[in-house]
Amino acid sequence: MSYSPIFVAGHRGLVGSAVVRALESRGDARIIVRSRSELDLTDQAAVRGFMDQARPKAVILAAAKVGGIHANNAFPAEFIWNNSIIQCNVIDAAWRAGVEKFVFLGSSCIYPKFAPQPMREEHLLTGELEPTNQWYAVAKIAGIKICQAYRRQYGFNAVSLMPTNLYGPGDNFDLENSHVLPALLRRFHEAKMAKAPSVAVWGTGNAMREFLHVDDLARAVLHCMDHYDEEQFINVGAGQEVTIRQLAEMVARVVGFTGELVFDVSRPDGTPRKLLDASRLTALGWKPSIPLEEGIAGTYRWYLDHLESMRTRRDFGGA
E strand segments, 181-297: 198-202, 208-209, 211-213, 234-236, 242-243, 260-264, 273-274
Is 41 annotated in some ligand binding site? no
For 204, list phi and psi in degrees, rounded to 5: -80, -20
* Cβ proximity of 61 and 38 under 8 Å: no
136 is catalytic: yes
Is 264 annotated in some ligand binding site? no
For 157, list phi and psi in degrees, rounded to 5: -80, 75
Of the residues 136, 167, 228, 303, which is catalytic? 136
Is 13 annotated in some ligand binding site? yes
Is 25 annotated in some ligand binding site? no
Is 105 annotated in some ligand binding site? yes
Is 140 annotated in some ligand binding site? yes
Is 15 annotated in some ligand binding site? yes
Q: Which amino acid makes up residue 199?
A: V
Q: How far apart are CA 149 and CA 238, in angstroms?
A: 29
Q: How far apart are CA 255 and CA 269, in angstroms?
A: 23
Burial profile 18-42: b = 16 or more Cβ within 10 angstroms, e = fewer? bbbebbeeeeebebbbbeeeebebb
Is 107 annotated in some ligand binding site? yes
Is 72 annotated in some ligand binding site? no
Q: What is the DSSP letter of 126?
A: S
Q: How far apart are CA 78 and CA 70, in angstroms?
A: 13
Q: How far apart are CA 262 and CA 213, in angstroms?
A: 26
Is 202 annotated in some ligand binding site? yes
Name the nearest CA neighbour of 63 among 28, 38, 27: 38
Is 266 annotated in some ligand binding site? no
Q: Which amino acid makes up residue 113?
A: K
The contacts of residue 215 (CB under 8 Å, 6+ apart) are: 18, 21, 22, 168, 169, 290
Is 106 annotated in some ligand binding site? yes
Is 163 annotated in some ligand binding site? yes
Is 289 annotated in some ligand binding site? no
Is 187 annotated in some ligand binding site? yes
Is 30 annotated in some ligand binding site? no
The number of CA neighbours under 13 Å toward the Cβ of 225 is: 30
Is 12 annotated in some ligand binding site? yes
Which residues make up each annotated binding site for substrate? 187, 202, 209, 269
Numbered residues of the known binding site for NADP(+): 10-16, 105-108, 140, 163-166, 179
Residues annotated in the binding site, as ranges? Answer: 10-16, 105-108, 140, 163-166, 179, 187, 202, 209, 269
Report the catalytic residues. Answer: 136
